[in-house]
Amino acid sequence: MIRLGTGELTPATVARLTGGPLREPVGLDGPTTERMRRSVALRERLVASGEPLYGVTTGFGDRNIGHIPAAHATELQHHLIRYHLVGSGPEAPAPVVRATLLIRANCLARGYSGVRPEVVDLLLDCLRHDLLPVIPERGSVGASGDLVPLCYLAALLIGEGTAVHHGRRRPAREALAAAGLRPLALQPKEALALINGTSFMAAFAVHAAAEARRLAGTAEACTALAVEVLLGNRDHYHPVIHRQKPHPGQVRSAARIRALLDGSQLARDHARVLSDNRPGDGQEGYRRLDHPIQDRYSVRCAPHVIGVLHDTLDWVDRWLDTEINSTNDNPLFDPDGDRVHNGGNFYGGHVGLAMDSLRVAVASVGDLLDRQLACVVDEKFSNGLTAGLTAPTAADDPAAGLHHGFKGAQIACSALVAEALSLGMPATAFSRSTEAHNQDKVSMATIGARSTRTVTALVHEAAAIQLAALCQAADLRGAHLLAPGTAEVYRQVRRHLAFMPADRRLDTELAALAEELRTSGAAAEATPAPAPAPAAQDGPPARITEDTHA
């Protein structure tokens, strides 16, 4: 069993558990349950003493100067939920909502929030039944926690609002009853503990990070294929080069690209490049080389771009690991010290900066892929490939000139990448003073996390276009000449898109490929396979060499 509240939950585990309905055992162990009950007992003693407790026997935010009788403390919690139900925009995706429930349960299970184990149990029961609140994405400034979106989670637990149960929308109370669950009557502090934290932003963040990690691997597969179809120089990824600038991500990226190219009959090494450029007998003075010594930056510097994403993800994961295993509400009840502490752990600054940085790194990789694609589809730069990667036709063929291949797809790819790049502005730079100047410095981390997941989706769509074009180019060169590693990528892509001998619509095929790349990272995990690449459907043309001009 994965034990909540013990610090063992990781971002990767959250992403894995919440991609679909919860199938693995997750729960509270004995010591965790006991720690939670001790914090509840402390909360009850302090309420009974008449001591003003923020959000328990006082108003919220700037209204904390008003002391409320203990008899109304429970009613106060329900008012807190209802007045924050003001979200708007698209509904958060199911994986993000599941992650929100799991992360919030983990934070409360740490035993400093004054929350009963029964609250965590109901969150986990909802996950097991795939009973999810409908949560609008917009409305959080990410500083007093995700107050607005998390109120939709809290409303589910008291049987209010709308839920989705196994894909069916229905009133929350009805959905709970259908799953054999009962809503809770929240005790003092419990509604505040549910909403006064960073779990919604963290849920977006862990899924964005997981998708970004898959994207890094996909970009390496794209680069290796680009080297092959452009008849490029594999020595750009030689370990000697990258040991002299040993950023871990750069070294790792170069090594994988080189491994994917191992055995390629299309990529050239330095000796082959020199051989291809050897002067003929009697040639002296200036001459134009037959093949470039170096490839363009989008190919040659790919490890330096993708490596930034790898290294960014390493520290982003560390920050997210701390965040999802933290107690990030307020106030906190310390049963060992027998006192309450007022603070600001709900502030999302670390998540915000992590997502702002990750978003820029992901968009930069998208730009890299778009530039590679521009080289592949343009006959001026592709070393002999056809314009737009169209199937070659004879000059007297009646269809000559009618087809344009991947010309439109490259335009769409540029549009996707431009949109991703346009979202690179840091959300954390836009703090606003809110809530009567009580929340006068806010993180905007939720906006940053949402935008980062949007960017990862956009770049995966661009990567799908890039892979489709690269496999078309591989067929034009001769897919049987691919390295074993890139041949495996080729096979995965060809499950979704056949060779294109003539113009046809590609949108549905590309969408299916993009979804597989984003959710499973098939190309990101490709390893060399012994079987040769299969012949593409619809009969690809004979191999095109650098000297062939159709």
Catalytic sites, residue numbers = 54
Cα–Cα dist 120/107, whole Å: 9
Q: How far apart are the first and last CA of the chain?
A: 62
Q: Which of 540, 486, 510 is nearest to 259 (CA)?
A: 486
| Amino acid, res. 472 | Q
Q: What angle do CA 256, 357, 255 make, to 5 degrees?
A: 10
Residues 6 or more apart in contact with residue 261 via CB below 8 angstroms:
224, 227, 228, 234, 237, 267, 483, 485, 486
- What 3 state SS string does 388-413 have? HHCCCCCCCCCCCCCCCCCHHHHHHH
**Residue owning tokens 């010594």:** 293
Cα–Cα dist 437/433, whole Å: 6
Q: What angle do CA 22, 28, 33 make, to 5 degrees?
A: 155
- Can you name the residues that pair with 341 across neighbouring β-strands? 332
- Can you name the residues that pair with 67 across neighbouring β-strands? 58
| Amino acid, res. 311 | D
List helix spans (H) across 230-347.
239-243, 248-261, 270-276, 297-300, 302-324
3-state secondary structure of 334: strand
Q: Which of 359, 362, 249 is nearest to 314 (CA)?
A: 249
- Can you name the residues that pair with 169 across neighbouring β-strands? 164
- Residues 220 and 306 sit within 8 Å (Cβ to Cβ): yes
